[in-house]
Amino acid sequence: MGHLGFGHPFANSLKIAFPDRQVVNVTGDGAFGFTLQELDTALRHGLKVVHVIHNDGAWGMCKFGQEILFGSADRLDQVFERTDYAQIAKGFGCYGERVEEPKEIKPALRRALDSGKPAVLDVKVRFIPHPSFQIMPAVVFQGCDVPGPPTAPP
User: What is the residue type of 117?
Assistant: K
pTM reported for the whole predicted model: 0.78
- DSSP string for 117-138: S-EEEEEE------TTGGGHII
Q: Name the DSSP class of 28.
A: E
Cα R_g (the chain), whole angstroms = 17
Q: What is the pLDDT along the chain (154 residues), one digit of tens a residue?
A: 456 778 899 999 999 999 999 999 999 888 898 899 999 999 999 999 999 999 988 776 666 666 666 666 565 666 677 889 999 999 999 999 999 999 999 999 999 999 999 999 999 988 776 666 666 556 665 656 655 555 544 4
Helix (H), strand (E), coil (C) string for 33-97:
HHCCCHHHHHHHCCCCCEEEEEECCECHHHHHHHHHHHCCCCCCCCECCCCCHHHHHHHHCCEEE
Q: Name the DSSP class of 6.
A: -
